[in-house]
Structure 1
Amino acid sequence: MAPLIISLDSGYKYLAGSLLSTVFLTVYQSVNVSKYRKLAKIPYPRVYAEKAEMEANKVAVQYNCAQRAHLNTLESLPNIVVLSLITSLSMPTFAAQLVGVWTAGRVLYTIGYTTGDPDKRNTQGGFVSSIALMTLISSASYTVYQLFTSA
């Protein structure tokens, strides 16, 4: 049996790096959630602080916000990975750039959200990551269109 040889465009190294950045993002968010869990004294296995805890302690609100920022990221991360892999079939460097922008936006989103004011999640960070996501959706759709219409 002959060995399988896969040849990748040189742009894939950038995609690998940008996808790795999402791991660092989620580790940062996990540490952030743990920090606020400890400060707010929210016991495991509870996922969120309850209403009375939030009314009594601003840190409990920050904990809930840190938790939501992390979970929002985890909810959209599979789409980011799939969309970037599809886009990379025709534009690997562009896909890498979009994942990098999305990751940077998620860091800003997390910082804003974790202030305890949920409206601050949508300042620069939410906008930046949303633009990157929409562009990935468009570029992945275009790539699939190209695949189906090429001879």
Structure 2
Amino acid sequence: MPTDIVIPSAYGYVISIAILSVVQLTVMGGAVFGARKRAGVPYPLPYADKAEAETDFDKHVFNCKQRVHQNTLENFPTFGVLLFTGGISYPEITAGAGLAYLLSRVFYARGYSTGTPEKRGHGRFGMLGTLVMLGTSVATVYKLLI
């Protein structure tokens, strides 16, 4: 028996988190642009050469900021699918988990962008947000299929 999908009014929270994530990606992109300019890394090179980055701190920091942005982009599809799927049935919980994930990316970015990549671990708590969104997504799918 098919289940009708009804989008709750609280789904606005989910959409707000999605918009906030786009703002976050834009800010990260701006940080990469600024670091690229300071380091003098020309386009279309995605990263500074390893040998140069080992002797030029600005190039090293550029590589770190570029990696932060790239890693965030790599995880963005998973974040989006879980956010939008889990939010159908559990909009407040999913939006809260999505916000926690986005906050963790701030800590990840700030730590990594210091030039000490090991400090990226300050954003590990984002896995909790991801797991909660995974749970709400699985529960939504279960509700739809049962």
Asked if structure 1 preserves the Cα contact closer than 8 Å seen for 2:89 and 2:136, the reply is: no
Q: Mapping of 1:49-128 within 5 angstroms? A: 49-123=48-122, 125=123, 127-128=124-125
TM-score (norm 2): 0.91
Matches within 5 A, 1:129-144: 129-144=126-141
Could you give the per-residue CA deviations for residues 71-98 of structure 1, whole angstroms, max 9, x where no partner exists? Answer: 1111111111111111112101111111
SS at match of 2:79: helix
Displacement of 1:7 in angstroms is: 5.8
User: Is the CA contact (8 Å cut-off) linking 2:94 and 2:132 kept in structure 1?
Assistant: no
- Is the Cα contact below 8 Å between 2:39 and 2:58 reproduced in 1? yes
Q: CA separation in 2, counterparts of 1:130 and 1:141?
A: 16
* Per-residue Cα deviation, 1:35-60 (whole angstroms, up to 9, x for no partner): 11111110000000111211221111
- Size of the aligned set, in residue pairs, is 142
Distance in 2 (alpha carbons) for counterparts of 1:130 and 1:37 = 29
- Compute the TM-score of the two structures, normalised by the length of structure 1: 0.88
Distance 2:29 2:104 in 1: 17
Please report how far the alpha carbon of residue 138 of structure 1 lies from its aligned counterpart in structure 2 after TM superposition: 2.1
Percent of pairs with identical residues? 34
Structure 1 runs of 4+ with >2 Å offset: none
Q: Which runs of 5+ in 1 are unaligned?
A: 1-5
Whole-angstrom distance in 2 between the partners of 1:144 and 1:7: 14
- RMSD value, Cα: 1.4
